[in-house]
Structure formats: structure tokens, C-alpha cells
Amino acid sequence: MPDNFRSPLSVGEIEANFAEIDPAMTPAEAAVEAGRCLYCYDAPCMHACPTHIDIPSFIKKIASGNLSGSARVIFDANPIGATCARVCPVDVLCEGACVEKTLVQKPIEIGRLQRYATDHALSSDKQIFTKGESNGKSVGIIGSGPAGLSCAMYLARLGYDVTIYDRNEKPGGLDTYGMAEYKMSQADSLAEVGQIEALGVLIRTNTRIVGDLSQPSASIGGSEPEKVEEFRMQKDVPIRELRDSHDVLFLAVGIGETRKLGIEGEELDGVLDALEFIRQIKTRNWKDIRIGRNVAVIGAGNTAIDAVTQAKRLGAERVTLIYRRAEKDAPAYAYEMELAKKDGVEFLWNTMPTAIGGVGLLSSLRVSGPEGEYEIPCDMVIKAIGQTKMTPFFSEVCGIATDELGRVVVNERMQTTDPMIFAGGDCVNGGAEAVDAAQMGKLAAIGIHRQLFAEDVEFAGSAITK
């Protein structure tokens, strides 16, 4: 890699830039914050949480010093509670609904309290739940992201033999490979995965699922897409083998590759997608991560914000976010946008990229905006304009229906048009929060149990009523 694409910062400076934005609470801080909670009856914060964690209960247990009990309440409702404590948009979910926000303009710091309890549990090496007595049934889960891990935990507690298949080298999906490093490290994600593996869940990584070994194009095997050349060390497993080995399958494969810009020069060296860029950062091999001096990021969702802030923290001199609509239309959360502004990111609103210039290496980006068409100097373009759907995999490999947007069609039990295949997470909702995927995994586990045993079960207040 040319020196002009290496970070100009020292490793120490980069490490400091990527320190967690919200550090862990001290015991004293947690005690004070937990003491502020009103322990509301029919608490609004619970209703605002997609997994319906009993927030007053876990906070009360923190206040009484029962951290293990607090963590159990959290993980009972949300198997990736430690992840969500770090990455959930609490401002618009639990903390946004907090009564204290209305009374004193300052909500209880629910996310940080949740992290305080879950970190204690994960660092104690004590197993929170145990595997249920074997019921003789087996479930195969494709994808080890939030939905897959959630479904696996509940099924294991019900006595199922569970195997997760994932194409990546490490499990965890977006939690492991796609979260901004200043929000959450790989070690945090893998610690949570360890709790689920301890229930007897088998995770087969470097494995992708194909329809037919002679037709590897319509394939998948994990919670995030990778380049074809990265599959060389992977094992291809025909989906029929999974059907023969398991009673039911659960699809938790996320969504597909980053969409193409469809403009001249997109193939030039220096153009990459945001998830690929974030994935490189997760290695923490700081001096091996390519970073330009003038970086342009196309898009204005939360992934785009993660890309611009991390590019700036890696040492890019100028980082520009380009979006085709106005700032008020940007899908990123307001607090994420403020973070980018504080990091010195520049913004071009109502502006479209029209061509990428350069010979071999890119050197400029032509854009069209309110001031007409012009070029901006640029040596790296990061695409964050959404992801494609994996319709061929669903229709050709799995034989299940998708809607007009390419999302898997499911009923209230998360059951697809094939009664023995369930699905959840981004492949169903088109891309939402990790906490939404976790809830879908929970509902799928309940639905699978009803399908195989005609029994209704309930986890942390979640049940299927139809």
C-alpha cells in the first residue's frame, strides 16, 4: 500500500481517537443513576424497547447490588443485551420514553446501566442460562448476527440441538464486523457469542450455503456479504444437506451487497463500500488500513455517519458527506449527525455524484448540486447508499417467497411460505436495528416450537397470540 494511503497518525493517536465514546460506569456512578429511577408501573421505557426488557426491574437490582440478577433480566428478554447497551439508539427508544426526561429534562441513562450489568455478567465467566433437557429436535440457523444468535439462545433453552452456519471467520455478524469501533469492539461481541455457545450451540464459521455445488452464485452463509475472492477457504454446504440434518431452518442472513452508484469511474482503485471499510477497521491493524487524504462518503444513513467519523479519526485531512436530499431528509439519527459535525466532517446536501475521475487511481469526484456541476479533489470514495436484497438466494436456493422490495415474506410466527423455514432480522424487515433483529429471533424460536410441538411458550413477556 502506498505511503500516501497510510494514516499519518501514530498508533497511539489512532487508539485514542477510537476510544469508546460512552465509557463504562463506575460502581458509584451506577448506584447514583439507578437511584434516580422511579420504577414506574407499566413503564413507558419497557414499551419503547422492541425486546420489552423489564427496565425498572433490572435497574432496581443494580440499586440493590444484585448485578447477576440484573443481567439475567436483561438477557432473558434480549440475548444480545450487551451489544444493544452500546449501539441501540436509546435516545429514540427507551431513554426517549423515560418519564424523567419529561420531568427534569434528563432521562435515566438506561443504556449505560444496561452495559454496567451485562459487562459484569460477561466478565464473571458464570453461565446465565442453561441448556434445556433435549427434546430430540434440531434446528439449523443460517447467519450468526443478532437474529440468529437470539433465536439460538431461546431454542437451546427449550432443549433443541442448534447449529449456526456463517460464512465469516468469526461469528456475530454485524455486531462483530459492522459496528463503529468507537461504539463496540469485536471482543465485546464475541464475549456475548460465548454465552450462547456455552448453551451447547454449535457455530460453524467459514461456511456458506449453496443451492447446488455446480451453481455457487446463488449462495449465502452468514449475516454479512463478502467478496467472492474471500470465500476460498470456506466450505460450501448445499442447503439440501441442512434440510436433511435439521427439522427446521431459520434464515438470519441480513441483506446483500452495497448498491452500486452506477456512474463512470466506479471501478477505480480507491472506491469501496462502507461495510468493507468498517470491516477493515475492526481488525485494529491501524497501519494496514487504507485511508485517503480527501475522502468522500456517499449517503446519509447511520452507516454513512460511521464511515465519515471513522475516516476522520483515522487521519483523513478532509472528509465530505454527500447526500442527494436535504439535511432534514437524512435517515441518520440526529445525535449521530452531531458526532460527525463535531469531528469536522463537511456536508454537501442536495448533491449527487455524477462521475469519478482518475487514471487507475481515483483523483476527483464530479458532483451536481445547487451550485451546478463541479469537481472536488478526492482520493477515496466510500459508498453507503444501502444494500441490495438477496432475492435469488431466497427464491432459487430456499424456494420461499419475497415481497416487491425483496424482503422475505413471513407470518406472525416468522414462518416463511415454506412451513419448515423461518426467517428474521434484516432479510425480513429490510434493515433496522440490532434490537429489532433480536426480537425477531425470539419470536421465531417461539414460532418454531409451536410448529414442532404445538405448544405455546413465552419469553420475557413475548408470545405469539395467533
Q: Which residue has the cell 414499551?
A: 47
Q: What's the CA gap between 115 and 120, in Å, rounded?
A: 8
The pLDDT value recorded for residue 30 is 98
The pLDDT value recorded for residue 211 is 87
Looking at the predicted structure, is the pLDDT value of residue 242 above 50? Answer: yes
Q: What's the CA gap between 188 and 8, in Å, rounded?
A: 28
Looking at the predicted structure, is the pLDDT value of residue 451 above 90? Answer: yes
DSSP labels for 137-169?
Answer: -EEEEE--SHHHHHHHHHHHHTT-EEEEE-SSS
The pLDDT value recorded for residue 214 is 56
Least confident of 90-94, 145-149, 228-232: 228-232
Give the pLDDT band (50/70/90) at residue 102. Answer: confident
The pLDDT value recorded for residue 4 is 72
- Quick one: average pLDDT of 51-79? 98
- Quick one: average pLDDT of 253-267? 94
The pLDDT value recorded for residue 118 is 98
For the chain, give the percent of residues with pLDDT over 70.
94
Looking at the predicted structure, is the pLDDT value of residue 229 above 50? Answer: no
Give the pLDDT band (50/70/90) at residue 237. Answer: very high
The pLDDT value recorded for residue 454 is 96
Q: What's the CA gap between 159 and 194, in Å, rounded?
A: 18
Looking at the predicted structure, is the pLDDT value of residue 87 above 70? Answer: yes
- Quick one: average pLDDT of 441-451? 98
Q: Is the pTM of this model over 0.85?
A: yes
Looking at the predicted structure, is the pLDDT value of residue 226 above 70? Answer: no
The pLDDT value recorded for residue 218 is 54
- Quick one: average pLDDT of 341-346? 97
All domains of the chain in start order, with CATH: 22-123 (1.10.1060.10), 138-256+388-453 (3.50.50.60), 259-383 (3.50.50.60)
- Quick one: average pLDDT of 181-198? 96
- Quick one: average pLDDT of 339-356? 98
- Quick one: average pLDDT of 337-354? 97
The pLDDT value recorded for residue 1 is 59
Q: Across all residues in the chain, what is the average pLDDT?
A: 93
Q: How confident is the model over 261-316, as pLDDT tens digits?
A: 999 999 999 999 999 999 999 999 998 999 999 999 999 999 999 999 999 999 99
The pLDDT value recorded for residue 222 is 59
Give the pLDDT band (50/70/90) at residue 83. Answer: very high
Q: Which residue has the cell 469511474?
A: 265
| Beta partners for residue 241, in sequence order | none
Looking at the predicted structure, is the pLDDT value of residue 228 above 80? Answer: no
Q: How confident is the model over 116-135, as pLDDT tens digits?
A: 999 999 999 789 999 999 99
Q: What's the CA gap between 373 and 385, in Å, rounded?
A: 21
The pLDDT value recorded for residue 419 is 98
How many other C-beta atoms are found inside a 10 Å radius of the C-beta of residue 187? 9
The pLDDT value recorded for residue 233 is 60
The pLDDT value recorded for residue 398 is 95
Strands 372-377 and 361-369: antiparallel
The pLDDT value recorded for residue 103 is 84
Q: What's the CA gap between 445 and 463, in Å, rounded?
A: 10
